[in-house]
Amino acid sequence: QFEEIHEVMARYKTLVSMHQDLMQSAQEGQEKIERAKARLARYMEEKDDEILQHNNELARLQMRFDRARSDVIIWESRWAHIQNTAAKKTLLLGTIKMATLNLFQIVSKQLKETTFVSLEDTHKQLDMVQQFIQDLSDIWAEVKKKDQTPQIRV
């Protein structure tokens, strides 16, 4: 293949030069790989930190959500209690108004007077019932007083 020694030497020098170039290229490639690995490790560490921060934030928000849900249950219970109480009081008020109207109608019938009091004016109706009861009490007191005084017979 080679006829002269200087061809062998030239070939050897070429191979040595090529070997040095390849070794340098391999070394540069290895350094690039090492730098890439270091960048990847930093990137992975940064992303792990970000994931940890997001997980912490998620846990904090989950706790806040759970507290809010608990508060909702408490406030819904209070609201139901308020509505229930309001319904009971409304029913009681309606019952009182009906009883007042009934008493007023009985008093009006006893007085045999036509009074122009609105069906919705519970206060005026109560005033008239109170006045009627006061008048009856006064009459009763007068009757008792007359019964206690000795009467002279002729």
> What span, in angstroms and rounded, lies between the C-alpha atoms of 80 and 23?
83
**How is residue 112 annotated by DSSP?**
T
Token pair, residue 84, equals 């229930």
Closest among 153, 151, 101 to 122, alpha carbons compared: 101
* Largest pairwise CA distance in the chain: 185
Q: What is the pTM of this model?
A: 0.56
pLDDT in tens, the chain (154 residues): 667 888 889 989 999 999 999 999 999 999 999 999 999 999 999 999 999 999 999 999 999 999 999 999 999 999 999 999 999 999 999 999 999 999 999 999 888 877 788 889 999 999 999 999 999 999 999 999 888 876 666 6
